[in-house]
């Protein structure tokens, strides 16, 4: 004989147990799920390869879009800044990748150089030329942007 609280049906306890089990499993699985957040100008490699030395500003903007920011110190430069964050369940997101694509223009407004900066072994690294920056007029800006990934938010 089963005892029940007044008005309860005999299957009520099993239903509550099943709901509790489903909720527990959902929370456990939710802790394993990872969400990826992309911020800024995520430029595909194919698009980056379309920007060749000698291209005009208009061609660059047509292929890559409007730059995140520009610089006019020692010639004009377009910067396309992006971040990739991963967040597991309820934890704070971690920045797993940050890139700065820099398009340098000459005096005639034509592409002189394209660089794709990121961090490699804690140092600013150009993924196109495959070299570590040692100096230059824009090194401070790029370093600040890339190393700023440790801050809570860049507001991208």
Please name which of 47, 155, 48 lies closest in space to residue 102, comparing C-alpha atoms: 48
Sorted by sequence, the CB contacts under 8 Å of residue 52 that are 6+ apart come out as 111
Integer Cα distance of 47 and 44 in angstroms: 5
- Find how far residue 46's CA is from the centre of its chain: 18
What six digits make up the tokens of 110?
Answer: 């034509």
Tens of pLDDT along 106-138? 989 999 999 888 877 556 666 666 555 555 555
Regarding pTM above 0.85, the answer is no
Res 67: pLDDT: 92
Tens of pLDDT along 52-65? 999 999 999 999 99
Domain boundaries, the chain: 34-150
Count, residues in the chain? 156
**Buried b vs exposed e over 45-60: b needs ≥16 C-beta within 10 Å?**
eeebeebeeebeeeeb
């Amino acid at each position: 004989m089963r005892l029940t609280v007044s008005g309860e049906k005999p299957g009520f306890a099993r239903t509550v147990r099943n709901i509790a089990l489903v909720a527990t499993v959902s929370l456990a699985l939710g802790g394993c799920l990872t969400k990826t957040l992309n911020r800024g100008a995520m430029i595909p490699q194919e698009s980056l390869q379309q920007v060749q030395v000698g291209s005009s500003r208009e061609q660059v903007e047509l292929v890559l879009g409007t730059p995140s920011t520009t610089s006019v110190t020692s010639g004009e430069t377009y910067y396309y800044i992006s971040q990739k964050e991963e967040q597991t369940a309820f934890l704070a997101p971690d920045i797993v990748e940050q890139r700065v694509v820099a398009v340098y223009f000459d005096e005639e407004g034509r592409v002189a150089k394209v660089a794709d900066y990121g961090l490699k072994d804690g140092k600013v690294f150009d993924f196109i030329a495959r070299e570590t920056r040692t100096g230059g007029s824009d090194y401070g800006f790029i370093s600040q942007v890339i190393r700023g990934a440790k801050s809570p938010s860049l507001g991208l």
